[in-house]
Structure 1
Amino acid sequence: MDHEAVLATYDRQLRRDARTDSPGARVERAGGVVRQVGTEHDWNGVHWADVDETTADGVIAEQVRYYTALGREFEWKLHSHDRPADLADRLRAAGFVPEPPETVLVAEVAGLPTQPGLPEGVTLLPVTDAAGARLMAEAHDAAFGEDGPGLGERLAKRVLAQLTETPDAVVAVVAMAGDTPVSSARLEFCPGTDFAGLWGGGTAPQWRGKGIYRALVAHRTRIAAERGYRYLQVDATEDSRPILQRLGFAALSVTTPYAYRP
């Protein structure tokens, strides 16, 4: 895979030409800034900013004023290859707080396994309705509960809205151990681009190390291949990065969400 070519395609298709990832949100282009604005349950933030040493501080201040007037927390999704080189320092000086960095990983769909191998007693349940979304929320909280209460519920509301209003844009699945949801994941499509995105995949602690995460990747890879997507993209934590790289994903950049809370 040509790293520079794929990175340029990623920046163009997923950031500069970004599309909304939620029925309740919209993508705006203001000067050199591409940002998403939605409800409190949606992701709100800056995808891309064409700034340099002379313009960065003013553009940062304008985004703070804009989202604060809307009463929204938001993120500036900074990538390690973004310019100017001191953009992270400028964001911190403006009151943004960095969250844990994630590695942007990309793989060609054609080179990935597509047959999920699940441990005995675990099955995959497609999420298609409110009941499935509730199971997804339970699995999310079991995996990421330390991140704070209510995250699973907000995720479920967002996924249910996607399934209701834009059903072709997302595939969601829950891994069930009997009647207990132990992991969940979703595949989000970016129509008109070469990319589909892997999100979620967290597994309850007692079920980790049994191949469920890999199975969820293979399940979603098969669907992406059926729909004709060339690449899968993941913002990977340090827990999932080694697994994905063993499967054939390559690192493009490192992304750090810089959060601003009015």
Structure 2
Amino acid sequence: MNDVKLMEILEDLPVGLHIEVPGLVYQLHIPEVTAFKSDRVPNPYANMMGIAKIPDADFESVLEAVFSAYAGAPFGWFVGPLAEPRDLPQRLEERAFLLAERVLGMVLEDLTVPIPENDEVVIRQIQPEEVPDYADGLAKAYGMGISTDALNVVALGSRGDLFIVQPKGSDEVIGFSRLAYVTPDVVLLGGSAVSEGWRGRGIYKTLVAARLRLARQAGAKAALVQAVEDTSAPICRRMGFREVAEYGFYLGNAVFEGMDS
């Protein structure tokens, strides 16, 4: 698969995998963007938007509709390399949006690459109905100011299989990740996080290796990640992933501090 096609696939992620959950999160009907909102959880990881294809002449009216729809609640805007207008990042920054993270869209095309694993942990899939039981531990592992309520939206409001990491013989949750089948040949290794006290011990790599095994068994040919530039991206690069695109995650109606609503 060529890089143009990969970039088109990445452009739709992660918002393209979001789903509505009755009573928790729903899709906003704003022209030219894809957006989701949770009235219960005022957090930019719960109120998420992206996939912007806004004609230049419509930009101001679309932006007005966005602010009106979120009605003062903090929200996140995931801006990919194919977003329109092409100067969307600059326009958002001019309107007081804050750049929270730079994210790299990366691909691994050899799913048999050997990856060292930590044998002190166990990785297992959990079902959606189990998420509330583990939400506190998942939020702690995620960090970035996310609350338990916001983590529930992140975990339940997206397609894909969710996995947790636990030390052998312990009920503690020290990490989690998602595996989503984007096409029959392409998977997304999404939403990975490891608790601070367990970082640097190969847990992230172990999560990657476990999901690649499942992807190979399902017949996938390529794996995508959207990795934060200064944390997970260097690890992915060492495992053989290569960069395809760059993204920005912008905050509207929000500041970096106090994002634990």
**Which residue is equivalent to 1:31?**
31
**Which residue is equivalent to 2:93?**
92
Kindly, what percent of the aligned residue pairs are identical? Answer: 21
Name the TM-score, length of structure 2 as normaliser: 0.75
**Which residue is equivalent to 1:151?**
147
* Whole-angstrom CA distance in 2 between matches of 1:197 and 1:40: 28
Please list, as runs of the form range in 1=range in 2, the aligned pairs for 1:63-82 lying within 5 A after superposition. 63-68=66-71, 72-82=73-83
Q: Which amino acid in 2 is paired with 1:235? A: Q
Contact 1:53 1:84 in 2 (8 A): yes
Unaligned runs of 5+ in 2: 255-261
Greater helix content: 1
**Which residue is equivalent to 2:243?**
251
1:20 pairs with 2:21:
no
Q: Kindly tell me: are residues 211 and 64 of structure 1, through their superposed partners in 2, closer, same or farther at Cα, counting changes over 3 Å?
A: same
Instruction: Kindly tell me the number of residue pairs found equivalent between the two proteins.
Output: 248
Contact 2:177 2:193 in 1 (8 A): no
Q: Kindly tell me: are residues 221 and 138 of structure 1, through their superposed partners in 2, closer, same or farther at Cα, counting changes over 3 Å?
A: same
Q: Which amino acid in 1 is paired with 2:66? A: Q
1:123 pairs with 2:122:
yes
**Which residue is equivalent to 1:219?**
210
Contact 1:105 1:235 in 2 (8 A): yes
Q: Kindly tell me: are residues 61 and 154 of structure 1, through their superposed partners in 2, closer, same or farther at Cα, counting changes over 3 Å?
A: closer
Q: Kindly tell me: are residues 30 and 123 of structure 1, through their superposed partners in 2, closer, same or farther at Cα, counting changes over 3 Å?
A: closer
* Whole-angstrom CA distance in 2 between matches of 1:117 and 1:89: 41
Please list, as runs of the form range in 1=range in 2, the aligned pairs for 1:154-193 lying within 5 A after superposition. 154-156=150-152, 158-159=154-155, 161=156, 169-179=160-170, 181=172, 183-190=174-181
Q: Kindly tell me: are residues 180 and 66 of structure 1, through their superposed partners in 2, closer, same or farther at Cα, counting changes over 3 Å?
A: same
SS in 1 for 2:174: strand
Q: Which amino acid in 2 is paired with 1:23? A: V
SS in 1 for 2:57: coil
Unaligned runs of 5+ in 1: none
Contact 1:124 1:175 in 2 (8 A): yes
* Whole-angstrom CA distance in 1 between matches of 2:8 and 2:138: 35
* Whole-angstrom CA distance in 1 between matches of 2:213 and 2:251: 34
* Whole-angstrom CA distance in 2 between matches of 1:218 and 1:54: 46
Shift of 1:74: 1.8
Contact 1:115 1:222 in 2 (8 A): no
**Which residue is equivalent to 1:46?**
49
